[in-house]
Amino acid sequence: MNSVNRLFEQVLSDIGTKGLNERPDWQDYEYESDEFGDWLDNPPLEDHTALRPIIGEQTVERVSDKMFNGRSPVVGVSYEEYEIIEGNIRHRGLDALAFYKSRRYIKKGPFPGKWGIFYLKTGLSYIAGEIAAAYPGYGDPRRLAHDFLRTHEFVHYKCDLQVLMFEAVLKRNLYLPLHEALKGQKIHFVEEALANRATWDWAQKTQTGLQEFAEDFMELQPGAYARFAEPKDYLRGEWLANVLDLQPPQCIPRTDIAHWVDALPRELLRASLCPEYVIYPAKITNWLSPLFVLPPVNQIFDADAVKKLLNGKYRNFQKKWQATKERLISNKFRKGLNFKAWKKDGKDSYSVRVVGDEGFRAHLRHQGSGNWVVYNFGNHKELGHG
């Protein structure tokens, strides 16, 4: 048993059930729910699902070779898998590819008896394929994919340990009451912004240079995942208010103690202390919902109100908008379009970035059979994007 396992056992034994029944009153907190839910709330089907551990950095490439059946490092996924993954990223965030399970939930599924970071084999393959396509010949895309996802998930590990330290001092449970209150709302938990921020920072380093890819990938994600570029101390302060005061997402941040974050002892941050596993699903749909696949885009029609805007107030955007429509029809997954669901206007509503102007967007509604109507056009503030 390593030092982290012993620490969890000691602290959780000391605090027992203190604070477990403390349920926060979030009457004024209203956000759209996560339709799929959390892995712990809705464990996926595991029949015939293989699980392989990653033991030390020296075996990452060996596990990757096994992941690709010992063949040459061809990366990527089938088109069917690609569509499912892209849709799930837009609805579930990075958890569609990998997730962290706390030591506190070791008796729960998925994979009772195990905790740590879990990567879907298809998630690693997808990221490796995207990196290989965006940066051909730039390093081993398999190792970069692992580092990319691990950087995000390791933040959840660190946050888990930091909460454990707070619990040891305050002598009561904090982690479990907060996560219970966040059921169905975890895409809005600011910890996801901090995790994506760490990956964004990693991607900006000279030795990786994946900043553009990382930004586009994160901006597709829902809720707090997309808040990665906000001031770091503000994000940290909100996380502390969530954890210590059991306040809801987007509450007033505890910026007075934001410097407390990232204060863990170095000896607890060794990579070997957080177990890692690669999941080989029998079927990708056992883990990712096909309901989130983006509808086809065959034709796009502008509503009369939008035509009026493009012929008047925004006439300078006519060519840009035409180019946007053409690119969206040719490839709805094209990088830079940021095409994703806009749940505020209903389940069939989507939002797309206007080509050549990151400050403008359009809202579209799917009419069925790949036919779309554009019902709103304008800048971020006008369309409610902040």
pLDDT at 63: 45
C-alpha 68/C-alpha 76 separation (Å) is 10
For 56, 67, 74, 144, 378, the CA distances from 63, given in Å and listed in that order, are 11, 6, 14, 14, 47
Handedness of CA 52, 57, 61, 62 (dihedral sign): negative
C-alpha 180/C-alpha 125 separation (Å) is 32
Handedness of CA 323, 344, 156, 237 (dihedral sign): positive
Domain 294-379 has CATH 3.30.2310.20: yes
Handedness of CA 81, 331, 303, 219 (dihedral sign): positive
175-232: pLDDT as tens digits: 999 999 998 889 999 999 999 999 999 998 856 678 889 999 999 999 999 999 999 9
pLDDT at 49: 74
At 289, give phi and psi (nearest 5°).
Answer: -80, 130
CA nearest to 340, candidates 256, 218, 206:
218
H/E element holding 156?
Answer: helix 141-170
Q: Domain residues of the chain, as ranges?
A: 3-287, 294-379
Q: Are 131 and 123 in contact (CB under 8 A)?
A: no
249-289: pLDDT as tens digits: 999 999 999 888 888 888 999 988 999 999 998 889 989 99
Per-residue pLDDT of the chain (386 residues; tens, 9 = 90+): 689 999 999 999 999 999 998 878 786 676 666 656 677 777 776 656 788 998 754 444 444 444 443 333 446 899 999 999 999 999 999 999 999 999 999 999 899 999 999 999 999 999 999 999 888 877 789 999 999 999 999 999 999 999 999 999 999 999 999 999 998 889 999 999 999 999 999 998 856 678 889 999 999 999 999 999 999 999 999 999 999 999 999 999 999 998 888 888 889 999 889 999 999 988 899 899 999 999 999 999 999 999 999 999 999 999 999 999 999 999 999 989 999 999 889 889 999 999 988 789 999 999 999 999 999 999 999 998 86
CA nearest to 99, candidates 195, 203, 243, 1:
195
pLDDT at 30: 66
- Count other C-beta atoms under 10 Å from residue 83's C-beta: 18
